[in-house]
Amino acid sequence: MRTLVSPTQLRSGRGKAIYWTVFTVVMLLFLLAFVFPLYWAITGAMKDPAELARTPPTVFPAQWHPEVWGESWERLNLLTYFGNTVLVALGAWLIQLAVDVPAAYALSKLRPVLGNKILALMLATLMVPASALLVPTYVTITDLPIFGVNLINSPTAIWFPAAANAFNIYLLKRFFDQIPGELLEAAVLDGAGQIRILWRIVLPISKPILAVVSILAIVAAWKDFIWPLLVFPDPTKQTLSVALQRMEIDMPLNILLAGLVLASIPMVLLFLFFQRHILAGLTAGSVKG
């Protein structure tokens, strides 16, 4: 395989020195770009407000205030808002799997009439700015068609618009396309219906891509701000992103910064725990043969 640096050059002393120097510099730059903001947020939360507002800023706190974490948890009432956010994120995740997985399976294996055109129309919605959909979606959830109910201040106002995600359907379909048709045909000959095939055969071998879709759905619901701001006018129903923004006016900066760090911890841990599944899901089906 031809690469930018040949194996012969890498085996030489000068080649090894250049390679490891470049590798080390690049890794340090990436580490600085991704880790330094986390360090800045964590150490900034443990500074007092006066030091946090100082110009130029201090790299290390002059005095450490670890008690800020407990104070932030209590003053910001984070337990309530964590509960609201978990409810919203889990509901959005479950409803996306319930809608997107069967839709992708149908487009991939059942091949309905005009299936490719339907998929193209789904993908075309990704080109529409999210802000352009706010007004029609808001009007819809304030007077739900057929049922005529108002979903404001209800988690379903987040769940229903998130149900059909074109990008997730595309990812799932691409993965399902790689499943051998002979495997499903054998199940049909054994008398299995399409629902049973999906549940017993397709889903167990689709864990990598399901992990990717799950992470995308949960993170999107967890960090969303504009839509929860519109549909949760009741402060007791708000998610973390909305509640922290509402309280920033009356709250010391270090307390607010500690709250932001605490709010981000679950998503960081989620990614670290499932990173192997995410990478496996993103690369699954990319190489055929």
- Say what the pLDDT of residue 5 is: 62
Phi, psi of 31 (to 5 degrees): -60, -40
pLDDT at 276 over 70: yes
Q: What is the mean pLDDT of residues 250-268?
A: 91
Cα pseudo-dihedral 25, 27, 28, 32, rounded to 10? 140
Pick from 47-51, 57-61, 283-287: least confident: 283-287
Taking CA atoms, 26 is separated from 20, 32, 35, 70, 191, in Å, by 10, 10, 14, 37, 56
For 84-108, what is the mean pLDDT?
Answer: 95
| pLDDT: which is higher, 244 or 31 | 244
Residue 123 pLDDT > 60: yes
pLDDT band at 74 (very low <50, low <70, confident <90, very high): very high
Query: Do residues 16 and 40 touch, judged by C-beta distance below 8 A?
Result: no
Give 145-190 as a DSSP string.
Answer: TTT----TTSTHHHHHHHS--HHHHHHHHHHHHTS-HHHHHHHHHT
pLDDT of residue 60: 87
Whole-angstrom Cα distance, residue 41 to residue 270?
A: 19
255 CB burial (10 A radius; 0-12, 13-18, 19+):
buried
The yes-or-no verdict on residue 38 having pLDDT over 90 is: no
Query: Taking the chain, what is the end-to-end CA distance rounded to the nearest angstrom?
Result: 18
* pLDDT of amino acid 106: 93
Reported confidence tier of residue 172, pLDDT bands at 50, 70, 90: very high
Residue 114: is its pLDDT beyond 50?
yes
Find the mean pLDDT for residues 46-55.
87
pLDDT in tens, 77-94: 999 999 999 999 999 999
Please report which confidence band the pLDDT of residue 167 belongs to, taking 50, 70 and 90 as the band edges.
very high
What local confidence, expressed as pLDDT, does residue 282 receive? 61
Report whether 95 contacts 160 (CB < 8 A). yes
Amino acid letter, 137: T
More confident residue, 22 or 234: 234
What is the mean predicted confidence (pLDDT) over 35-51? 89
Mean pLDDT (the chain) is 88
pLDDT one-digit tens code per residue, 216-257: 999 999 999 999 999 999 999 999 999 999 998 888 989 999
Q: Which residues, other chains included, contact 133 with Cβ-Cβ below 8 Å and sequence gap of 6+?
A: none
CATH topology of domain 70-285: MetI-like fold (1.10.3720)
Residues above pLDDT 70, as percent of the chain? 92
The residue extents of the domains of the chain are 7-64, 70-285
Q: What is the pLDDT of residue 2?
A: 52
- Retrieve residue 99's tokens: 């809608």
pLDDT score of 11 more than 90 = no
Residue with tokens 């640096």: 5
**What number is the average pLDDT over the span 12-33?**
83
- Maximum alpha-carbon separation in the chain: 75
Cα 34 from chain centre: 17
